[in-house]
Amino acid sequence: MGLDLGMKGDKIPDRHHIARYCKPTQIEDGQIQATAFMLRVVDESLSVNWLEFLSRADREGEIAELRRIYSTKLSVGARAQITVLNVGEVYNKVLTESPDSRSLEILHDPLDNDPSHSGIYNLKNDDELIAELILETALEAYPARN
């Protein structure tokens, strides 16, 4: 694909996609809740994965690779889901609809065991409204387990 896939701190292009692992406690009646996009007090960013960085042929391949990565570092719940978001849509939705015109940053933040790991920055740990806005941009969801 010839993507110039970058380094820690690189901004993920607006046309690209990120995925968020949603724990079973963040899912109600099969629907992902806004709590899946709430920042924990101990975190400086919301963990996501940069799908295009995985260099797979299609979305199915990207999700399969995420399942493999998650299984090595998380205890993946039976009802856990992976949701896919478009970077530009998340950025624009929050910028135009949040009361403080919040400008999120979605940056590559690779880990040793998870090179596609990235983060959504500029969140606060009690941002329910921002979490709701991010949830509204969710494109699709997949079971986090095969």
pLDDT band at 32, cuts 50/70/90? very high
Question: Does residue 29 lie within any of the structural domains?
Answer: yes
Q: What is the pLDDT of residue 93?
A: 98
Total domains, the chain:
1
The answer as to whether 6 is a domain residue is: no
> Cα separations (Å) of 49 from 29, 37, 101, 102, 125?
25, 13, 24, 21, 20
Domain that includes residue 88, residue range? 20-143
pTM value is 0.93
How distant, in Å, are the alpha carbons of 5, 8, 115, 118 from that of 82?
22, 23, 17, 15
